[in-house]
Amino acid sequence: MHRSAHDPTAAGPGSRWLRAGSARWLLLVTYAALGLAWVFSDPPFTGPDEAAQFLRAVGISDGALIGAPGHGQPVSAVPLRQQAMASTSRGVIVPSGLSPDAYSCELLDPDISAACTENAAENTASVREFTYVGTYQPLPFLLPALVLRADDHAGGSLRLARLATLAIWLALLAVAIWALWDESFGAPSLVGIILALTPMVVYLGASMSDSSTEIMASLAFFAVLLRIGRDSEHVASRGVWGLAGACGVVLALSRPLGPVWIAFDLAISVALVGPRAAWALVSRGGRPALASAVAVFVAIALNRYWEAKYEPHVVFTPFPALDVLSAGAQDLHSILGEFIGNFGYLNVPLSPSLEWLWALAAAVLLGLALAVGRAGARVAIAVAALIAVAFPIYLFAASLRFTGFGLQGRYTLPVAVVIPLVAAEALRRGRARLPATLPAALLAAVAVIAGAVQLIAWWTNAQRYAVGAGGPTWFLGVAQWSPPVGWPVWASVAVVASLLLAVFWIEPPAAPGRRAVAAKWLRS
C-alpha cells in the first residue's frame, strides 16, 4: 500500500530514529566539532580583518565601548580605502603580549606556511594601537572581550575570542535547529539548514568576526519566523515569540545592515504565508508578539543611533546609473563563490568543482520546492533569490564603491542563507505531493555532499598554512607549522565531524529484544 509522504512511518531511511529528537543534538554537536577544528587549526589572525576585530574586542575589554579617534599607518595603498579606514579607526590600549602585529607574515603570500609566526615578537609593554573597525557595533564583541584576557599571549587570547564567537554562533544555531524541526517530517526538515551552513559560514563562525553573529542571527531569526508561520499546526507560544524578539535584537545590533536583513527576512516570510495570514498570526500572538516587535524596534533604533553618532557619513546614491550597476554585476560570480568558500583574505579558495557541487545540491532542493510548493512558497523563493542576487549589486553601486572596497560574499550571506530555509519549508509543506521516500533520499544526498565538502574545505585551508598552497596535499608528518596539540588531533576531529554529517540520515539497527521499548520511545 502506498503511503503518503506526510505519514510519519513513511519518511524513509533514518527518519524514525532521527524523529525522536536525536537529529537535533547530532547536528548541533557535528557543527560544534567542525567549528572547534577551525578555531584551533586556523593560524592566529588569518581570518578576514581578524586582527582589527580582535583589537576592537581588546578595547571593549578595557571598559571602553569606543576608543579615542585616531589612526596609524595606512594598511592600503588605495586612497579611497585609506580614507574609509581612517574614518572608522579608533585607538586601543593593548596589554603586553596581546599585540597582533607580528602575526601577518604569511597572510598575503599563499606559497609560504605559517611557520614564520612561530618567532612572532610579543610586545613587552602596553602599547597604543589602532583598529579600523573601531566604530563597529559593539554587541558581537562583548563576549569575546570578557574572555580574551584569560591568556596573556596574542595567539591564545585570539583563540579564546574565537571560542566565544563560536559559542554565540552555536547558540543561534541551536535556536534555528529547534525552530525548523518538524516531528512529523523528521530529519528532512533540517535539509535546508545543512545547505545554508556552507563551509564559509562555518569558517566565519569560528573566526573573530562580527559577520559570524550577523549571518547566524539572520538565519535564526528567519527560522523562528518560519516556526511562527506554522501556527495552524503548532501554536506559537510566548517562548517562540521571545526567541523571535531575541534573535531580531541580536541581528539588529550586529552590524550596520542588521535592520535591512530584518526587513528582508520579514518580507520573505510574509510572502511565504501571505499578508493576511501573517497579520492574523501577529494578531493572535497578542502581548508576546507585541513585546517582541517593540524589542526589535528599539534595537533598530539603537543601531541607527550608534551609526549616526559614531560612524562616518557614508556616501549613498539611491539610484545608481546602469553602467555602475553593470560593473557590480561583473563581480557577481566571485561573490556567489564566496558564499560557499574562500578563506583567509580571499586567497584560500575552494575548488570551483566543489562550489558547483554545493550549488547543484541547492538547485535540486530549489527545483523540488518550486515543483511542490504552493503559490506563496514560490513567491517567497523568488523574492529571496532576487534579493540575494540583486542586493549585492545594488549595495556596491549605491555605496560601497565610494569606499574603494569591492563587495565580498560575506557581506550579503545574511540573506543568502535564508534561501535554502525557504526551499526546505516549501518542501515540508508540499511533501504530500512527493514520493514517500524522496525527502529522505534528498537529505541523504545533501548530507553526503555537505560532509565531503566541509572536510575538503577544512583540509584545503589547513594544508595552505601547514606547508603553503604549493606544498603536498597530504601534509601530516611534513607540516612546517602545526596548531596546538598537533595536526593529527584536529584532522581527526574534522574527519569525525564530517563523517557524522555525511551519515546524518542513517538509522542504526535496533536490538531485536528491545524493539517494543524502542517503538514506544520513538513515538514519544
Could you read off the pLDDT of 377-401 as tens digits, one per residue?
899 999 998 988 888 888 878 877 7
- Residue 366 pLDDT greater than 50, yes or no: yes
Q: What is d(CA 210, CA 217) in angstroms, rounded to the nearest whole number?
A: 11
Q: Give burial (CB, 10 Å; 0-12/13-18/19+) of 308.
A: exposed
What is residue 143's predicted lDDT score, i.e. its pLDDT?
Answer: 97
**pTM recorded for the entire structure:** 0.90
Could you read off the pLDDT of 169-208 as tens digits, one per residue?
999 999 999 999 988 888 899 999 999 999 999 999 999 9
- Residue 142 pLDDT greater than 80, yes or no: yes
What is residue 15's predicted lDDT score, i.e. its pLDDT?
Answer: 42
What is residue 44's predicted lDDT score, i.e. its pLDDT?
Answer: 94
Among 105-114, 122-131, 219-228, 514-523, name the one with the lowest average pLDDT: 514-523
**Which amino acid, residue 82?**
Q
- CB burial readout 354-364, b (16+ within 10 A) else e: bbebbbebbeb
182 alpha-carbon distance from chain centroid: 22
- Residue 240 pLDDT greater than 60, yes or no: yes
Q: What is d(CA 300, CA 201) in angstroms, rounded to the nearest whole number?
A: 24
Task: Select from 105, 87, 95, 112 the least CA-distant residue to 55.
Answer: 95
What is residue 523's predicted lDDT score, i.e. its pLDDT?
Answer: 41
Tell me phi and psi for residue 123, to 5 degrees.
Answer: -75, 130
What is residue 436's predicted lDDT score, i.e. its pLDDT?
Answer: 86
Please compute the mean of the pLDDT values over residues 332-357 and round it to a whole number: 88
Q: What is the DSSP letter of 69?
A: B
Please compute the mean of the pLDDT values over residues 454-478 and round it to a whole number: 95
Among 125-134, 178-187, 303-312, 513-522, name the one with the lowest average pLDDT: 513-522
What DSSP string runs through 299-317?
Answer: HHHHHHHHHHHHSPP----
Structure-model confidence comparison of residues 409 and 59, the more confident one: 59
What is residue 364's predicted lDDT score, i.e. its pLDDT?
Answer: 95
SS3 398: helix
- CB burial readout 178-196, b (16+ within 10 A) else e: bbbbbeebbbbbbbbbbbb
Q: Is residue 140 within 8 Å of 50, Cβ to Cβ?
A: no
Task: Select from 321, 243, 235, 251 the least CA-distant residue to 285.
Answer: 235
What is residue 346's predicted lDDT score, i.e. its pLDDT?
Answer: 87
Q: Is residue 518 within 8 Å of 25, Cβ to Cβ?
A: no
Could you read off the pLDDT of 15-69 as tens digits, one per residue?
444 444 577 889 999 999 999 999 999 999 999 999 999 999 999 999 888 988 8
For residue 68, CA distances in Å to 130, 134, 155 come to: 9, 9, 25
Q: What is the DSSP letter of 18?
A: I
pLDDT-derived band of residue 160, with 50, 70 and 90 as boundaries?
very high
Q: What is d(CA 518, CA 342) in angstroms, rounded to the nearest whole number?
A: 44
Q: What is the DSSP letter of 181?
A: -
Could you read off the pLDDT of 281-327 as tens digits, one per residue?
888 888 999 999 999 999 999 999 999 999 887 777 877 877 777 77
What is residue 395's predicted lDDT score, i.e. its pLDDT?
Answer: 83
Question: What is the number of alpha carbons within 13 Å of residue 8 lying toward its C-beta?
Answer: 13
Secondary structure element (H or E) that encloses residue 349, with its range: strand 348-349
Q: Which cell numbers hold the place of 139?
A: 554587541
Please compute the mean of the pLDDT values over residues 99-106 and round it to a whole number: 86
Q: What is d(CA 374, CA 273) in angstroms, rounded to the nearest whole number?
A: 10
What percent of the chain is predicted at pLDDT more than 70?
90
The residues that bridge with 128 in the sheet, in sequence order, are 93
Structure-model confidence comparison of residues 5 and 230, the more confident one: 230
What is residue 511's predicted lDDT score, i.e. its pLDDT?
Answer: 43
- Residue 510 pLDDT greater than 80, yes or no: no
The residues that bridge with 92 in the sheet, in sequence order, are 129
Q: Give burial (CB, 10 Å; 0-12/13-18/19+) of 265.
A: buried
Q: What is d(CA 432, CA 185) in angstroms, rounded to the nearest whole number?
A: 11
Q: What is d(CA 496, CA 61) in angstroms, rounded to the nearest whole number?
A: 35
Structure-model confidence comparison of residues 409 and 197, the more confident one: 197
- Sequence length of the chain is 524
Q: Is residue 217 within 8 Å of 257, Cβ to Cβ?
A: no
Task: Select from 362, 358, 31, 18 the least CA-distant residue to 172.
Answer: 31
Please compute the mean of the pLDDT values over residues 138-145 and round it to a whole number: 97
What is residue 232's predicted lDDT score, i.e. its pLDDT?
Answer: 60
Q: Give burial (CB, 10 Å; 0-12/13-18/19+) of 286.
A: exposed
Please compute the mean of the pLDDT values over residues 69-83 and round it to a whole number: 74
Tell me phi and psi for residue 252, to 5 degrees.
Answer: -60, -30
Structure-model confidence comparison of residues 406 and 9, the more confident one: 406
What is residue 459's predicted lDDT score, i.e. its pLDDT?
Answer: 98
The runs of H, that is alpha helices, within 42-102 are 50-61, 79-87
Tell me phi and psi for residue 90, to 5 degrees.
Answer: -140, 150
Please compute the mean of the pLDDT values over residues 120-141 and round it to a whole number: 92
What is residue 520's predicted lDDT score, i.e. its pLDDT?
Answer: 42
Question: What is the number of alpha carbons within 13 Å of residue 393 lying toward its C-beta?
Answer: 21
The residues that bridge with 94 in the sheet, in sequence order, are 127
What percent of the chain is predicted at pLDDT more than 90?
61
- Residue 453 pLDDT greater than 60, yes or no: yes
What is residue 77's predicted lDDT score, i.e. its pLDDT?
Answer: 58
What's the mean per-residue pLDDT of the chain?
87
Tell me phi and psi for residue 127, to 5 degrees.
Answer: -135, 160
What is residue 498's predicted lDDT score, i.e. its pLDDT?
Answer: 96
